[in-house]
Amino acid sequence: MLRVLTIPTTPYPDQRPGTSGLRKKVYVFQSKRNYLHNFIQSTLSSIDLRDRQGSTMVVGGDGRYFNTTAIQVIVQMAAANGVGRLVIGQNGIMSTPAVSCVIRKFKAIGGILLTASHNPGGPDGDFGIKFNIANGGPAPEAVTEKIFQISRTIEEYAICPELRLDLATLGKQTFDLENKFKPFTVEIVDSVESYANMLRNIFDFAVLKELLSGENHIRIRLDAMHGVLGPYVKKILCEELGSPANSAINCVPQEDFGGRHPDPNLTYAADLVESMKSGQYDFGAAFDGDGDRNMILGKHGFFISPSDSVAVIAANIFCIPYFQHMGVRGFARSMPTSGALDNVAKATKIQLYETPTGWKFFGNLMDAGRLSLCGEESFGTGSDHIREKDGLWAVLAWLSILATRKQSVEEVMIEHWKTYGRNYYTRYDYEEVDIDAAVEMMLELEVIILDKAFIGQKFTVGEKTYEVDRADNFEYNDPVDGSISRNQGLRIIFKDGSRIIFRLSGTGSSGATIRLYVDSYEKDINKIFQDPQVKLAELVTIALKLSQLRERMGRSSPTVIT
């Protein structure tokens, strides 16, 4: 009989979860007394006791440092709080898309994901805890706000300190707890199996196998960046679809992601970009720490921006059997994502939704049967098969398109631009800036752009003049539940449809990040092959002049993300 103890604790004021859960430096969880316990208890307490009693929950993490320590605490606390069964990935590892899939498969009331996504890992890195609800998607604001309010007044937590779990052995483990009628059950499952089964029902694996290992097969290179997706790539693409073992690199999950930043973009996946430039591979992709983001590359390192990626999948959506059966209900993108998807939606007469950043907004539309395919500029692409973005799904979607069209990545992209026009796009991140200075800059910029006199204002750079058509602080009225999300980013939209967007982001664990996005549409076929940085230089100049961003933040060189 395992004892259930109630331990007194004192609250912390800083446990407000963001769109991606609670993210802090590892040492915060390690050094602050009961910091982890408080947040787990607040999360469990946010679920009504009647719903919690005897329920099933899913737990998985991206394998980063502190993952297994945290899981043992979560198990001890879930048992003490009346949860009936936990389903956990072997060794505590399960990708974010797979957790979403397993929550839905087991009809769980939710799941706890241990990840800081694409942020660095290791003892000096970041750690994160995210709660997903019964639909398999990230908790909406009403839930995260409830968790935060509980965390501010918490006085005690419940725990079974003697409960010890073997995370390595597949199968069921049961535990008898004092004062509990039924034993507490933990099921250790194969991290890949349920997810792989789901993909088999979405894509035509025979067609993909022919593409990757048939007579005229293409050569691919996939970089798991020592994140959670390594075992998934090995099992699904190499073992099942026949791609050679050496086509998958960095596939052993590591607590510090091999000392790298597990972020699939041109800056942090530079090794992959270099190996693609050699011309020996036809298709390349990289994934982030928890497996929900992806970057797509063609031969010679031809880069597909995430905004273009979702547009190409939309334009070729019936190359994927799932959509042949299910039909297409709608497309959606986050507000800062380029308008490339809008062009496809307009041509195909399919409803398009523009949402704030955060996958939970897409989840709402999907649950209401309004949305089939969506994407974000931050390397996230997905569909209504689960309620998270899904890196491996996006790769199989692209491979399905290549197999059907019998074209290269570059040919598919260029043909797309010729058909729909091209949205030139870039994003600059000014990271770890002073939060007070950043807030002040955003407030002052808002005053400037919301002034009536700003509409119609002309900005001339070189030979080109841009006239302001409208400007606002983006707000979203959710068509499903009527909720309103305000202050989602400052938008300046010019008469020619070009956009400049500023957002203050808080998914890092320290400081603030100001993100600057620039989007400009070009339909002239003779002008669709320019370098985005050259093409967008004038708009970037306007953005920097208007905001005084460099002077105010003391930063001249941001990270160029796309």
Return the active site residues: 117
Looking at residue 328, its amino acid is: V
Residues 335, 476: Cα–Cα separation, whole Å? 10
Q: What residues form DSSP beta bridges with 433?
A: 512
| Token couple for 332 | 């959606």
Please state whether 136 falls in left (phi above 0), alpha (psi between -120 and 50) or beta.
left
Angle among Cα 134, 135, 141 to the nearest 5 degrees reads 85
By the 8 A CB rule, do 58 and 98 touch? no
H helix or E strand, kind and range, residue 200: helix 193-200
| Token couple for 220 | 């691919």
Residue bearing tokens 């209504």: 384
The two most distant CA atoms of the chain are separated, in Å, by 79
Question: CA-CA-CA-CA torsion for 60, 63, 65, 67, nearest 10 degrees?
Answer: 20
By the 8 A CB rule, do 422 and 528 touch? yes
Looking at residue 71, its amino acid is: I
Residues 466, 537: Cα–Cα separation, whole Å? 13
By the 8 A CB rule, do 516 and 560 touch? no
Chain centre distance of CA 34: 28
| Token couple for 10 | 């004192």
Strands 458-461 and 464-473: antiparallel
Residue bearing tokens 């967007």: 501
Residues 539, 62: Cα–Cα separation, whole Å? 38
- Measured between its terminal Cα atoms, the distance across the chain in Å is 56
Please say whether the dihedral angle defined by the alpha carbons of residues 66, 72, 77 and 83, taken in this order, is positive or negative.
Answer: positive
Q: What is the number of other CB atoms lying within 10 angstroms of the CB of residue 520?
A: 23
| Token couple for 355 | 């949402």
H helix or E strand, kind and range, residue 396: helix 391-405
Question: CA-CA-CA-CA torsion for 141, 144, 148, 149, nearest 10 degrees?
Answer: 60
Residue bearing tokens 């841009």: 466
Task: For residue 297, give the nearest of 356, 218, 237, 185 by alpha carbon.
Answer: 218
| Token couple for 314 | 């939309």
Residues 266, 547: Cα–Cα separation, whole Å? 26
Phi, psi of 398 (to 5 degrees): -65, -45
By the 8 A CB rule, do 83 and 55 touch? yes
